[in-house]
A and B are shown apart, each in its own frame.
Chain A
């Protein structure tokens, strides 16, 4: 999962999804904290435009780790801009990943169904980085175990390209052209103490 917390017990091989490695390389800041706030606001406006026609019958499901605070931020901004509060939940996809057996055992994140469940509603999956698309695929599998949404959409802060599956995001904060060997690191104040998006390596 992109930008997730790395536990000390885990292998240090490059993360299949975001290319994060344990080594520290020179990083350039591509989004500052102000940029992150602006981009989040824009996604919130796009969501409002899109779900207003369904009477805001939508829920935000964050994918741990950083998708969860991001989902809460979007809900807050949507409440400010449109005066409606969308239920927020979290969806852990660890058990549904296709690379579980490729490295050490992974800790599990929290799955919390949003208030009122997901049946018949528009579910907006929220993640920090969209890369290979494998996390989104795992999320779709995890989601159908919880119920049957009316529609599923995907919102990401950063789309860095290099898709390996036929998946695209409905809401993209920032398209970030990268090379596959680069690492995109999303920092959020709730998890990392500050907001920023960094690109490491070349």
Chain B
């Protein structure tokens, strides 16, 4: 295995394109090193992105949105007070990944590229309408985060493509988001179900809402019907019931040691309701 500590994404892409074997990009490494050790992946070229200028930066754009570099750790996201104020649900999703030690290294980009349907940071990004800038042999493109997951362990990145940064839109006024997951303990586990809700209010009424579910389908997914169930409502019981019904209807889970199909569908509704209430309270400026 050759180790390359590159200083630009262009160099990273060039090395990946010229590699005749398996390539892996290294940012936080909390998945890649585990795969290496288990022998699941034997890269010929390991391309470390952390020496590239800007990959550890969290930058507020002129429009009020955020650019998050590919190597920003969960701990760094959590320590960024202004980002936490704008997108608490995105940050709390990432902060649920692994232990304090894992948080010191693990990244949003890596959690996304690992392709797990249960990735805790991805529903928040999808609900937020986040995008990602990809660079590859054919150039640079920016696509919605929601279009990146393809199936368990697989993404829609083309061969040799790598994510440079993740972009959050401006959160704007009267907006709130939240992420909840169910695990049978309090820490250090993989989501049985995860749900993120991002919404905006006009007075007491929901004017925009996006709901994303994790671990109930081959990929994290946006559920437009669930968001639509909230729009125009004051989050009254009827709207919440419609949300729960829509969220459950979208679920296509598997049964495994962490939960059955029936349990996951049930919990998806429960989490959607609770996350919507938290997002609503946050949009009202309440701390929840």
A binds B: no
